[in-house]
């Protein structure tokens, strides 16, 4: 009798999960989707809104920033060229959410009033993601710069 009840419980539990489990690969790919959406080569920054939840928040430069203000912040830098190197991903999963933290090294060529400059940053970053229907989206993002340099480009 106990075996029958346990089998029935597991069958019902498995039948309730209408979406496949979240995987580490899905989480890491979503982080890359975020960076592809805001990179300087992408002229359609509206893709950013497909990657984040409606109530998305990022904590960066000591401030809580919503999705609209963050996109405005990104566009304010006059970036000519950008490259990111993401590494050392650590992912935690459950059925409806995920958390990831990782290292990020960014290299940016920006246009400033004094001419072009090369900016190099190293960050520690993390993202909390939730299932939005059958899609994984970023709900909260944390970014902390641990090193930065700047030099003019002639």
What is the count of structural domains for the chain? Answer: 1
Q: Is residue 14 part of a domain?
A: no
Higher pLDDT, 46 or 24: 24
In the numeric block, the tokens 């809104």 are attached to 49
Nearest CA to 73 among 58, 53, 55? Answer: 58
> Could you tell me the pTM of the whole model?
0.86
Q: Is residue 3 part of a domain?
A: no
| Structural domain boundaries enclosing 143 | 21-152
Q: Is residue 15 part of a domain?
A: no
**What distance, in Å, lies between the first and last C-alpha atoms of the chain?**
80
Q: Is residue 6 part of a domain?
A: no
In the numeric block, the tokens 């299932």 are attached to 131
Chain-wide mean pLDDT for the chain?
Answer: 90
Q: Is residue 90 part of a domain?
A: yes
- What's residue 44's pLDDT? 87
Q: Which two tokens stand for residue 76?
A: 């304010």
Higher pLDDT, 74 or 137: 137
Q: Is residue 81 part of a domain?
A: yes
Task: Tell me the pLDDT tens digit for each residue of 73-82.
Answer: 988 888 999 9
Instruction: Average the pLDDT over each of 14-23, 62-71, 91-100, 128-137 and give the range with the smallest value.
Output: 14-23
- pLDDT band at 13; cut points 50, 70, 90: low
Higher pLDDT, 109 or 15: 109
Query: How far is it, in rounded angstroms, from Cα 20 to Cα 87?
Result: 26
Nearest CA to 39 among 90, 107, 116? Answer: 107
What is the CATH classification number for the domain harbouring 82?
3.10.450.50
Q: Is residue 144 part of a domain?
A: yes
């Amino acid at each position: 009798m106990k075996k029958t009840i346990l089998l029935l419980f597991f069958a019902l539990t498995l039948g309730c999960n209408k979406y496949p489990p979240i995987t580490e690969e899905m989480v890491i790919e979503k982080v890359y989707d975020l960076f592809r959406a805001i990179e300087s080569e992408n002229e359609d920054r509206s893709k950013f809104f497909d990657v984040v939840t409606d109530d998305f928040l990022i904590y960066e430069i000591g401030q809580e920033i919503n999705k609209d203000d963050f996109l405005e912040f990104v566009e304010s830098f006059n970036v000519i060229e950008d490259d990111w190197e993401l590494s050392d991903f650590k992912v935690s999963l459950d059925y409806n959410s995920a958390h990831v933290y990782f290292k990020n090294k960014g290299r940016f060529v920006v246009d400033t009033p004094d001419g072009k400059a090369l900016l190099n940053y190293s960050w520690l970053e993390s993202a909390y993601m939730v299932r939005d229907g059958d899609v994984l989206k970023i709900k909260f993002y944390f970014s902390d710069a641990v090193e930065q340099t700047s030099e003019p480009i002639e």
